[in-house]
Amino acid sequence: MIDILGIGNAIVDVVARADDAFLSRHDMHKGGMMLIDAAQAEALYAAMPPGIESSGGSAGNTCVVAAAMGAKAAYIGKVADDQLGAVFRHDSLAAGVSFATAPLIGGAPTARCLILVTPDGQRTMNTFLGACVTLDESDIDPALVASAAVTYMEGYLFDPPAAQAAFYKAASLAHAAGRKVALSLSDAFCVHRHRAAFRDLVKGHVDILFANETEIAALYETNTWEEAVAAVRTEVGLAALTRSEAGSTIVRGSETVQVLAEPATVVDTTGAGDAYAAGFLTGLTAGKSLAICGRLGSYAAAEIIGHYGARPEADLRGAMAALG
């Protein structure tokens, strides 16, 4: 029995410092995630300052945080049979997250995200999907999906076409087994790229939706927070909408729960949403109330934004005992 099965783009992050002029010269939208091809990745890497490598990927981050909080987590994602793939696999297993997806052999290298951190602390991401684009339905292990209380998928999966099909297969297998399907919208630009598909997906295939303010506004093309909350209420069974330091709003049918953000010294906001989802789902799969789920989400997000990087530096197992 697994609590959370994450499915996502298996990506190694390469983080370097850069100034705003560097972003302008390379046509980047600050704070966003842009897809780049192999040639662009090579050119950008050559132009980038020295970097630091670590495992990343939105759903991968969520699984690792959930495991650190005591949840049983497993992951499906496609790396290549190369050194960065071995790094990603090691980091997952060492964090206590099962990861058995077969690597891609003899094809594109493991995906990497070239991340530029500007002096204001914002991160601008450039993703070369590499081996990720080959994640397909054959990578979805039916027994694994059936054994997971929640199958959690990232919106970024809609960028590689074969992964979309894998998404639908996983959702269908989960529901056939009486399990829940959760989706994170990932990024407002990603929502703009796939709005119609996401609208259909949320309404017809998703039980639990995670989104931040700009993502939910992009999905429903609303101008106000109230309109977005009203729209999501009629479209999905359970939604957890995050608003950074203003906390989160949890919506289930006519029920609405407001949750405060945990006080935190902000060092790096990367992975805050991934961590919130991890805390929330760890609580939910342990049978906690929505208010407690939200507090666990806030707690996990506060830990992640208190240091550089999207994976936890502390053992978070105490949170369930303290808050739950």
Distance of closest approach, residue 212 Cβ to a copy of itself, in angstroms:
26
Distance of closest approach, residue 320 Cβ to a copy of itself, in angstroms:
21
What would the two tokens of residue 70 be? 């005591």
Binding site for a copy of itself (CB under 8 A): 16-17, 45-46, 48-55, 64, 82-84, 87, 90-91, 93-95, 109-110, 309, 311, 313
Q: Which is nearer to a copy of itself, 76 or 97 (CB)?
A: 97
209: how many CB neighbours lie within 10 A of its CB?
A: 25
Tokens 């999906």 found at? 145
Q: Which is nearer to a copy of itself, 48 or 284 (CB)?
A: 48
In contact, 153 and 8? CB cutoff 8 Å? yes
Q: Which is nearer to a copy of itself, 23 or 197 (CB)?
A: 23
Q: Which is nearer to a copy of itself, 54 or 98 (CB)?
A: 54
Q: Whole-angstrom Cα distance, residue 213 to residue 225?
A: 7
In contact, 262 and 296? CB cutoff 8 Å? no
Distance of closest approach, residue 143 Cβ to a copy of itself, in angstroms:
25
Q: Which is nearer to a copy of itself, 93 or 100 (CB)?
A: 93
Task: Give which of 231, 187, 193, 227 is closest to 210, Cα–Cα.
Answer: 187
182: how many CB neighbours lie within 10 A of its CB?
A: 27
Q: Whole-angstrom Cα distance, residue 236 to residue 223?
A: 20
Q: Helix or strand or coil: residue 167?
A: helix
Distance of closest approach, residue 213 Cβ to a copy of itself, in angstroms:
31
In contact, 297 and 260? CB cutoff 8 Å? no
Distance of closest approach, residue 84 Cβ to a copy of itself, in angstroms:
5
